[in-house]
Each structure stands twice: as C-alpha cells, then as structure tokens.
Structure 1
Amino acid sequence: MEKTNPMSLRKMFVLGAAVVALGVAAGASFAQTPAQKATIDAAKAQGVVGEQADGYLGIRTSASDPAVQDAVTTTNAARARAYAASAAQAGTTPDVAGARMFESQLLPRITSGQWYRNAAGQWVQR
C-alpha cells in the first residue's frame, strides 16, 4: 500500500481553501457585471456555453453573440487570475487548480439540460 505524503495532502487542502476564498466557488462571477452573468446563464440554458473540465467556460456553438463572447472572455480572465493565485499558494499549477475547481465546484452545479466539456474534450449534456 502506498503511503500518502502529508505535505501533498496539505497542499491539496490549501489549494481548495484558496480557490474558495477567492470566490471561484461562487461561480467565478466576481469579475462579471450582473448583465454578463445573466448573459452567461441564458447562454448555458440555450446550450451555447458550457463549463469545461479545465475550469473555464467554453462556447459550444460557432454562432454566438458578441455579448456572450465578451462575457465568457471576462469570466475566464477572472478565473485564470484566481487559479494562478490559488496555485501559487498551494505550490501547484493553475491548470491543476482549474481542473480541481471543475471537479469539486463547477460540475456538481451543472443542471439537467446544460452542457459541459469533459476531460476527453467531448461536449456532454447533463
């Protein structure tokens, strides 16, 4: 049986706490305007936008409104900053922070009918 490194467990805990403290668990809406959040929520409901396994939003369809593209870009930039900050505190990478956020916070919140991109790169409807 492989022994768990207590330091790696500590880093995982710090990473999770840091991401939550940065507000990413609240939907990463801290850099969005209310209008951008509403735009993303509507786009998710229409199947245009979905969460991705890397912790970022993705645009599923090629014909998306410029307001949707802007809202996704704004949200993803805020998430990138949050993931970088939490990764630095935990001694890991922003990619790991984003993937962990997807698994622990974003995926469980995807409602029936919404789309997400899994780790294999496939769009899946819940």
Structure 2
Amino acid sequence: MKRIAILSLGALWLFSSMVQALTLDEAKSQGRVGETLGGYIAAVKNDVETQALVERINQGRAEKYQQVADDNHVSSDNVARLAGQKLVDRAPAGQYVRGINGQWIRKG
C-alpha cells in the first residue's frame, strides 16, 4: 500500500510538472528565449527550465527542417536559415532576437 502511494505521488508530481511546463510563447514574452538567424531559439536567460525548452523546441525544429529539406532536395541548413530570417523578421515588439553581430536585441 505504501509503495502504491509513493508511485501515485510520483505520477502526480510528473503530471503537474508537465502541465506547468514552460511554453515557447511564455518564454518569449518573459524574455527568456529569443529567435536567431540560424532558425533555432536560444536562451537569453540561462536556467534549467529554459534550457529544457530550448532543447525540446530546437529538436522539433531540426526534424521539421530536415523533412522540408528532403522534400525540396536542399540542405537542412538552408531551410533553417530561411526560417530563421522569417522568424526574426516576424518577432513582435518586446521579444528578443539575436542580430547578425551575435548580440541580443529587444525588438521595438
């Protein structure tokens, strides 16, 4: 019985942490991440939750870029750079983007 209670608490903790996981929109609006010209997000503020989000989002983007590249017979790097330019250009005011010089800029 004690073992089931411990397992239940563990499952509850896992579920609650998944529900409360940081979203990309939240991280952008909080200034924790920004878009880069390379097509991937990067951490503006370095903490465990932000890093986990960056890894998860960038892994998904890499997979999508590879699919698009395969479908169009181009390199995934080219797809990522094209996407990066669009994402940086479309970032709304107040969000961070990494400029060509590698410095973070808050769009105005």
TM over 0.5: yes
Aligned to 2:54: 72
- Residues 91 and 34 of structure 1: CA distance in aligned 2, closer, same or farther (over 3 Å): farther
Which of 1 and 2 has greater Rg? 2
Aligned to 1:10: none
Aligned 8 A contact 1:39 1:67 in 2 = no
TM-score by length of structure 1 reads 0.61
Code of the aligned partner of 2:59: A
Q: How does 1:41-60 map to 2 (within 5 A)?
A: 41-60=25-44
Aligned 8 A contact 2:38 2:85 in 1 = no
Select 1:83's aligned residue among 65, 75, 96: 65
CA deviation string 1:38-75 (max 9, x = no partner): 5332221221200111110100123x2x2222121111
1:35, distance to aligned residue in structure 2 (A)? 5.3
- Residues 103 and 68 of structure 1: CA distance in aligned 2, closer, same or farther (over 3 Å): same
Count of residues in correspondence between the two structures: 90
What RMSD over aligned residues (CA atoms) do the two structures have, in Å? 2.1
Unaligned runs of 5+ in 2: 1-17
Aligned to 1:113: 94
Code of the aligned partner of 1:52: T
Code of the aligned partner of 2:51: Q
Code of the aligned partner of 2:91: I
Unaligned runs of 5+ in 1: 1-32
In 1, Cα distance between the equivalents of 2:97 and 2:66? 22
SS of aligned partner of 2:23 = helix
Is 2:92 the partner of 1:97?
A: no
Aligned 8 A contact 1:39 1:68 in 2 = no
Aligned 8 A contact 1:54 1:119 in 2 = no
Aligned 8 A contact 2:28 2:96 in 1 = yes
